[in-house]
Structures are given as structure tokens and as C-alpha cells.
Amino acid sequence: MVELNFNPGDYVKIRLALKEIEGRVIESEDKNIILLKLASGYNIGIPKENILAGRVLKKYKEEEVDRKIVQNNKLPSIGLIITGGTIASKASQSTGGVRPITNVNEFLEFYPELLNMVNIKKIEVPFKIFSENMSSGHWIKLAECIKPMLEDNDIKGVIVSHGTDTLHYTAVALSFFIQNLNKPIVLTYSQRSIDRASSDANLNLQCAARMALSDCAEVMLVGHANTEDEYCHAFLGTKVRKLHSSRRDAFQSVNAKPLAKVFPDKVEFLEKYRKRGNSKPEVDVLFSDKVALIKFYPGQDPSILDFYALKYKGIVLEGTGLGHVSGSDSLHSWIPTLKRHIKSGLVVCMTTQTLFGRVDPYVYSTARELLDAGVIYLEDMLPETAFVKLGFVLGHYGWKVHVKEKMLENMAGEIGGRLNYI
Amino acid sequence: MVELNFNPGDYVKIRLALKEIEGRVIESEDKNIILLKLASGYNIGIPKENILAGRVLKKYKEEEVDRKIVQNNKLPSIGLIITGGTIASKASQSTGGVRPITNVNEFLEFYPELLNMVNIKKIEVPFKIFSENMSSGHWIKLAECIKPMLEDNDIKGVIVSHGTDTLHYTAVALSFFIQNLNKPIVLTYSQRSIDRASSDANLNLQCAARMALSDCAEVMLVGHANTEDEYCHAFLGTKVRKLHSSRRDAFQSVNAKPLAKVFPDKVEFLEKYRKRGNSKPEVDVLFSDKVALIKFYPGQDPSILDFYALKYKGIVLEGTGLGHVSGSDSLHSWIPTLKRHIKSGLVVCMTTQTLFGRVDPYVYSTARELLDAGVIYLEDMLPETAFVKLGFVLGHYGWKVHVKEKMLENMAGEIGGRLNYI
């Protein structure tokens, strides 16, 4: 067998018995296979024993700044925002983990199919971090970064690439921050870094582009519908959650159907949606960070509320079942503590840690006690969605006396997945 | 139409054109239908317009103490523990919600099928509360209540009826408290109270009995496998979670297959299991309440750790994705606070809020930082399971220097659903 000094990222030429092949080396799980990403975007695996000769045409450097990406400006235009995460990362040879890529062209180079579908008129990289490190300031920056793209009539839709860890929280924030939408905003991700053969990034990005060109003017999350590399689902931003730590179909609809099945070349809608149009989007990023999410567990001491009440304005409880924490029949009743803080102005909302299903304060005595204490029951709203919405509502000083109505107003399909303009 | 003064719970006789029917009135959603529970256990709905006459044979009283339940002591014996919850509740006419039933015979009267399958040699009612009000003291009481039933050779298995809200936490506690099990311990529940036509209690209880008579010596949770009233699943106590607030198939396996499909008359095992035998069960209820479960959310202030570190010995974090909280690249890095408290002896474990999938500290830099700080990564253990296990491990003073090893030792299938004796 020939000696091959190839490293992931190298652009190489390989001679086989009947032909020569050029491509970029990607990391292979199998030591006896050379994996190449071809110019077409397809990956090909070549058994080393079949290789007669091979040489590196261009050595891979982690920082290559002079790449040229050729765009076709006859294609419909989109805006692209890159924020970091696995979709903008590569395997790192030093740690065995992944590291962020640092160059926009390097990002695009990995996705030639995208450039066959759209002309990327505007690219923004407002920050580049893994999503577990984001907070509300990033959501606000993102909304502000999207705004001019909504106002640019050439741009048909906006794609945001983002880490998966807190992607659903960001989708919720954008759903509330940007109202009266005129074109699609599509968040997407990958679970495996883009230089791995098994990466899900390519299909996700193509389906995100297809959705960005569609007539659906919603904040959506697009990603693999199942473990096959076949099609994606588009989810409403307020009704989706990461439900697997590593599978490519990590995101699932909760208490709503997906909005659409998305293929690289077509969209099949499953639900009603807001149509793209000439409405003037409103970007409203008022947000209070003085909100917390508390997941209840059996025997939990309610004094945790004393800690939060000192500095916070609102709390979302992730209760059990139909929306419970320990009531009067328990050794650690939360009722007196809740009553005291709610009386002093703390807003307390109830969701359920079952995630699926809705809360209901009218079945069991514990919930009736909680309702009497002033706890706001949030129907079938996801705890994560409720947390972000409460920050949004409490960020609006003018809504101060209407917090309960606002929390129960269906602003972005967060209740029942029903959109209020249908 | 005749005037019928029937109330739910009344035992009545109805005359139709061709026959007379006796049964107990159960609440009907349709005002034009009288629903009866027959002696056979079946429910029958009779349109009011078909009823020629009807009278109450025995008025229902909420407190009837003199019911006689006839048991067949030729049937195999089981032990039954009733702890409250919907499975031991009835619709309350006053609130429209449900209220606990107060009499054991009243409980059994609703389940005639159970008494055709087993002889209930021993019934215990250690406490009667809804499960959101339970805490570790109840788990301990329950284990101590089960112990003599394990030692009684006549008793083939133990059924525990329990509210759904925290049933999976109790299942975990019993899985750790009772080791070296010699016979089945089966927890079951219902989502609808037993006097409703749609109640799931009857099938759950029959399948629980079938499982209690089986040769599987595990702590299990048995309940509806789907929304049909057809068969149940038996789940390993450490790998199950309530994933819907109201559906009858509220409980689902996470990161493991169900142990078995259970029908009232047969069990089809799907996984390997410990066989019933002559082992001597050990009941070990040492438990520390100084543990907390914290679900991380974007931007969360790490000072929550300062609050817990004052009084607590251990914390289970429900991180994002592969097991993350905000790292060094964020505005609110948890790393310094975690380092400080772990150095001072606080035990910090990591699970994932995706619930499905496993944590992995070797992929991203944030997790490598957390690992370096001393955070213990708990593989694919559910957050709820990890919380109870940490209380159990920290309750054992003798394990003090082995906390990490003990947390990563697969004691009851909590890691990978693999049982350590297979």
C-alpha cells in the first residue's frame, strides 16, 4: 500500500486504477478508508488498498484568509448570520473535540450546495460562540442584526446558523422580539461538525435555504426530521425543544405539529402559517434578565424562592404533572412562601416538567391552592418558552399591570401552537 | 323520559324494554347517557331515552365502612400498598376535581378484575397523599413497608399504587433502597380517577398484578403503553419518566427499551432481567436531603450555587446538550464559582436537559473546563434519577471518599439501562 501523508482539510489528488479524483480530506472513523469531500458536495470513501498514488495539492492551514467564494447573483438572495456552534466548527486534531472556524469563506466552502441555491447578499457574524455561552444580550444583538435584512427587499429570507444547546431559547426570543414579520427567519444547526462524513449540516443548511425562499413569514427552526439524511422539519420557534443530546434529529415539536416537511428542492406544509408580505416588521428587544426558571423536585425547600425574590421580578416554575409543587399536605408546603412573595409583587408562572401536555389548575387541590395564591398557569407553553416570554413581558414597563394577560396572550403561537392571525 | 335521581357512586337498577340492569353509576361526560359499572367490571352506557324506569338500590355515601370484599385465597398472593394519587381518588361533586378515597374496600370494589387474578394477602396504607406532596421520608416509609412483604414467602410480588406526579422519583428511590431483590415490586398509577369511564386504572392494575406474579425481580413501573386500552409497558424504575401531563401513556422509557409488554393475561419480555429467587433483599434507606437539582438556562447567574453551597452537600445540574453550563466565553461563566465550591467539598454532577441521549465532556471546550473543575459527568442517567441517587450516595457516610465512583457505578440499571448482573 502507498504511504499517504494526508490530514483532514488537505486538498488532495488520488490516483486509482482507472481514474483520478480530487477533493478535500475529511476525518474518517475507519483508518483503512480515505474520505474525500468532492467539489459536488458529495462525500466519497476510498479503501486505501485501492489507491495507487496520492499527493497533497494544497496543504490545509487552520487560518486561510484568501479563499475566494464565487457567488451566482442570478440566484435569489438571502441574508446569512453565522453565530458559532458546531455548524461553524471543525474537528480539532489537538483535542479530539471540535473548535470554531474563524473565516466566513471557510464556512461557505464547506457548503457548495448552498451557493447553488441562493446568492448570499449579506453575511453577518455578530459573535461567534457556542450557544451554552449565550444570554439575552446575544438574542438582542441577533434581532438587531436581522432587522436591516428584513428591510432589504432583495433579501428573500434570513438564515441564522447557531449552536444547538440553547438554539430553542434563541428561537423563542426572536419569535417575541420580531413581530409582524414579512419574510422567513430560519434558524439552523448541526450536531456533527462540518468536516465529518456523518455531518448533518449540509442537509440542514439546504433545507434552511429552501425554507428561507418559501412564502412562510415565521421564525422557524429547521433541522433533520429523523436519523436519515433525507428531509428536515420546520418547527415554529416557540414550540420546539432539543430532546436528544447527540442525534441529528435532536429537535422535536412539543404540543404542536411541525410546520412543514422540508426537502432541498421543495416544502410540504403541514400547518397554516403567516404568508410573506409587505407588512412592516417591528423589532422590540425590551427584555428583563430578572427572571428565573426553577424545576421543582420532591421535597424541595421553598426557601429557594426567598433567594430569587430578593433580586428577581419573575419566576417560571417547572412543576410536576398538571402543574404542581408541594401543597398543604406536604412537609415542605410552598403555598405560604409563594403567597408572601406574590403579594410583594413577584410574578410566578407554572409550566410542567412533563414537557408534553398542558397544565390545569382545576383538577387537584394542590393546583387550586396555587391558583388561589396567584400563580399564573401557562396552558401548554414549554418551560423554556415561558422563561423567555416572561423576560420579554417584564421588560416592558408599560405592561406592568397586565403581566398575567400578556403571559396568556398568544403572541407567537406559544399557546397551543395556534397562530393568532389564523 | 323518566326522571332519574342518580348520583355517581349510587348502586342502581334500571329497567329497559327487554331486561333489567344493575350497576354502580359513574360520572358521564354526556348528560343524555347513564354510565354504569357492572359487577363484571365492564362499563356500559345507556341512553336515557331507552330507560323505562330506574331506582337507587343503595345510595352512595362518601364514607361507607362496612363493605365486604370477598377474596379467593386459592389465587396466588400478593401484597398491595396504597399511597394515594388519582388511582385511589374519585371525582368530587363539590369541586369538579378529584378527592382521595378514604376506605381500602372502596378502592378494591372498583377493581373486581384484580380480585379474580390474585389474593391480596396484605394491604398497607402507609400514607395517603398526592405524590407532589411526597419527599424522601415517604420513600423510606414505603421501602420499610415493602420489606416484610419481601420476607413473606406466600407473597409472590408487591404492587404499589401511587400518584403520577413524582412516581418516577419514587421508583428510583426504591430501586436504590432495595437491593438484591427476590420478587417483583411493581409501581402503578392512573391518570383518570377510577370512577370515570375513561379511567386507565383498571388495565394498569391488572397488568401490575400480572407483572407482580411474573419471574422478574426488579423495581418496575407499569402503565399504559399507548393511548389505547390494550396493554401496558413495564419500565425499569431508574429509566422512566413522566413525559405527558394527562395522557394515559404518560410514562416513557428514556435511554432504554421498556422491560416488557404486559397484558392482563401474559408478559412478553423485551429485555433481560433479574429472575425471582431466594436471594435475601437488603433494604438500605440511608438518604441525605442535602441535595438539589438545578436546571440551567441561558444567562443564569452562577450565584445560585452560593445559595445551595451554604447548606447542601451535592447538586445535580441539568445542563444543555452534551452537559454544559456557561463557560469561560460567556458573560456569566460558571467555572470559577463551580471550582470554588467543588474545592470546598460540594459534589456537582452533570446530566442533560435534553433528557434523551448522554452527556459527553470530551467534545466541546466548555465541558472540558467543567470536567477539569471536578464536575462528575453521569453518562445517560436521567436528571431525576441522578438527583435521587446523589441523595442515596451522600446519605452513606462510609462512601464519602468514593462519591464519584459510586455515582458512576451502575447499581440499578441507571446507566445505559444495563443491569449489572447480566
Gap between the Cα atoms of B184 and B150, Å rounded: 9
pLDDT at B422 over 50: no
Considering only CB atoms, which chain B residues are within 8 Å of A242? 320-321, 353-354
**For residue range B210-258, what is the model confidence (pLDDT) as tens digits?**
999 999 999 999 999 998 889 999 999 999 999 999 999 999 999 999 9
Q: Give me the pLDDT at residue B65, please.
A: 45
Angle subtended at Cα B418 by Cα B186 and Cα B380, rounded to the nearest 5 degrees: 100
The minimum CA-CA distance between B121 and chain A, rounded to whole Å, is: 30
Of B10, B83, B156, B164, the active-site residue reads B164
Within its chain, how far is the Cα of A296 from the centroid?
A: 26
- Spatial contact of A91 and A98, defined as CB atoms under 8 Å apart: yes
Identify whether B3 is part of a domain. Answer: no
Q: Are residues B172 and B260 in the same domain?
A: yes
Cell numbers for B161: 399504587
pLDDT at A218 over 90: yes
**For residue range A26-39, what is the model confidence (pLDDT) as tens digits?**
877 778 888 887 77
The minimum CA-CA distance between B251 and chain A, rounded to whole Å, is: 9
Q: Of A283, A311, A329, which marks where a domain is finished?
A: A283
Identify whether B110 is part of a domain. Answer: yes
pLDDT at A1 over 60: yes
pLDDT at B62 over 50: yes
Of A10, A37, A165, A385, the active-site residue reads A165
Distances, alpha carbon B193 to alpha carbons A24, A242, B117, in Å: 63, 33, 22
B137 C-beta neighbours (distance < 10 Å), count: 14
In terms of Cα–Cα distance, which of B309, B290, B279, B288 is closest to B399?
B288
Range of the structural domain that residue A16 is part of? 11-58
CATH number at residue A39: 2.30.30.520
Contacts of B98-107 with CB under 8 Å at 24 or more apart are B98/A363, B98/A364, B98/B193, B99/A365, B100/B128, B100/B129, B100/B130, B102/B62, B102/B63, B102/B128, B103/B63, B103/B64, B103/B65, B103/B67, B105/B67, B105/B68, B105/B69, B106/B64, B106/B67, B107/B82, B107/B161, B107/B194
Q: Are residues B214 and B360 in the same domain?
A: no
Gap between the Cα atoms of B363 and B366, Å rounded: 9
Considering only CB atoms, which chain A residues are within 8 Å of B166? 298, 320
Gap between the Cα atoms of A312 and B146, Å rounded: 44
Identify whether A2 is part of a domain. Answer: no
Q: Give me the pLDDT at residue A422, please.
A: 42
Gap between the Cα atoms of B123 and B104, Å rounded: 8
Identify whether B261 is part of a domain. Answer: yes
Q: Are residues B83 and B125 in the same domain?
A: yes
Question: Cβ A360–B246 below 8 Å, yes or no?
Answer: yes
Q: Of B261, B283, B305, which marks where a domain is finished?
A: B283
Question: Cβ A354–B324 below 8 Å, yes or no?
Answer: no
Q: Give me the pLDDT at residue A418, please.
A: 65
pLDDT at B360 over 90: yes
- Is residue B242 flagged as an active site residue? yes
Q: Are residues B84 and B221 in the same domain?
A: yes
Output B12 or B71, whichever has higher pLDDT.
Answer: B12
Q: Give me the pLDDT at residue A191, please.
A: 83
Considering only CB atoms, which chain B residues are within 8 Å of A331? 135, 137
CATH number at residue A306: 3.40.50.40
The minimum CA-CA distance between A315 and chain B, rounded to whole Å, is: 12
Least confident of A68-77, A252-261, B335-344, B396-405: A68-77
B279 C-beta neighbours (distance < 10 Å), count: 15
Question: Cβ A360–B245 below 8 Å, yes or no?
Answer: yes
Please state the rounded mean pLDDT for residues A356-384. 94
Q: Of B253, B283, B313, which marks where a domain is finished?
A: B283
Q: Give me the pLDDT at residue A363, please.
A: 86
Of A86, A166, A337, A366, the active-site residue reads A86
- ipTM summary value: 0.85
Q: Are residues B165 and B246 in the same domain?
A: yes
Question: Cβ A247–B298 below 8 Å, yes or no?
Answer: no
**For residue range B254-299, what is the model confidence (pLDDT) as tens digits?**
999 999 999 999 999 999 999 999 999 999 999 999 999 999 999 9
Identify whether B393 is part of a domain. Answer: yes
Q: What is the rounded average pLDDT for all residues in chain B? A: 90
Please state the rounded mean pLDDT for residues B324-347. 96
Q: Give me the pLDDT at residue A14, please.
A: 93
Residue of A nearest to B191 (CA): A321
Least confident of A182-196, A365-379, B200-214, B303-317: A182-196
Q: Give me the pLDDT at residue A91, please.
A: 67
Q: Give me the pLDDT at residue A230, please.
A: 92
Please state the rounded mean pLDDT for residues B67-79. 84
User: What confidence tier does B112 reach under pLDDT thresholds 50, 70, 90?
Assistant: confident
Considering only CB atoms, which chain A residues are within 8 Å of B379? none
Gap between the Cα atoms of B238 and A309, Å rounded: 34
- Is residue B128 flagged as an active site residue? no
Q: Are residues B317 and B381 in the same domain?
A: yes
Question: Cβ A130–B324 below 8 Å, yes or no?
Answer: yes
Q: Give me the pLDDT at residue A412, please.
A: 95
Q: Give me the pLDDT at residue B67, please.
A: 56
Q: Are residues B275 and B391 in the same domain?
A: no
**For residue range B349-359, what is the model confidence (pLDDT) as tens digits?**
999 999 999 99
Please state the rounded mean pLDDT for residues B101-124. 84
Least confident of A293-297, B23-27, B150-154: B23-27
Identify whether B68 is part of a domain. Answer: no
Gap between the Cα atoms of B65 and B59, Å rounded: 14
The minimum CA-CA distance between B308 and chain A, rounded to whole Å, is: 9
pLDDT at B96 over 50: yes
User: What confidence tier does A318 reach under pLDDT thresholds 50, 70, 90?
Assistant: very high
Q: Write down the pTM of the prediction.
A: 0.85
Identify whether A150 is part of a domain. Answer: yes
Please state the rounded mean pLDDT for residues A404-414. 96
Gap between the Cα atoms of A324 and B305, Å rounded: 24
Question: Cβ A320–B357 below 8 Å, yes or no?
Answer: no
- Is residue A165 flagged as an active site residue? yes
Residue of A nearest to B328 (CA): A133
- Spatial contact of B81 and B146, defined as CB atoms under 8 Å apart: yes
**Overall number of domains in chain A:** 3
SS3 A47: strand
Q: Give me the pLDDT at residue B95, please.
A: 53
Within its chain, how far is the Cα of A150 from the centroid?
A: 19
Gap between the Cα atoms of A354 and A352, Å rounded: 5
pLDDT at A198 over 80: no
Cell numbers for A241: 425543544
The minimum CA-CA distance between A306 and chain B, rounded to whole Å, is: 10
Q: Are residues B247 and B279 in the same domain?
A: yes
Q: Which residues pair with A233 in a beta bridge?
A: A223, A261
Q: Are residues B199 and B311 in the same domain?
A: no
Residue of A nearest to B318 (CA): A295
Q: Give me the pLDDT at residue A25, please.
A: 85
Q: Which of A134, A327, A356 sits opposite B132 (nearest CB)?
A: A327
Q: Give me the pLDDT at residue B71, please.
A: 83
Residue B20 φ/ψ, nearest 5 degrees: -115, 145
Q: Are residues B195 and B139 in the same domain?
A: yes
**For residue range B144-181, what is the model confidence (pLDDT) as tens digits?**
999 999 999 999 999 999 999 999 999 999 999 999 99
pLDDT at B206 over 80: yes
Cell numbers for B126: 402507609
Q: Are residues B241 and B384 in the same domain?
A: no
Identify whether B238 is part of a domain. Answer: yes
Q: What is the rounded average pLDDT for all residues in chain A? A: 90
Q: Are residues B264 and B367 in the same domain?
A: no
- Is residue A74 flagged as an active site residue? no
How many residue contacts between A and B have a Cβ separation below 8 Å? 194
CATH number at residue B174: 3.40.50.1170
Please state the rounded mean pLDDT for residues B89-94. 62
Please state the rounded mean pLDDT for residues B338-364. 96
Please state the rounded mean pLDDT for residues B4-28. 87
Question: Cβ B97–A364 below 8 Å, yes or no?
Answer: yes
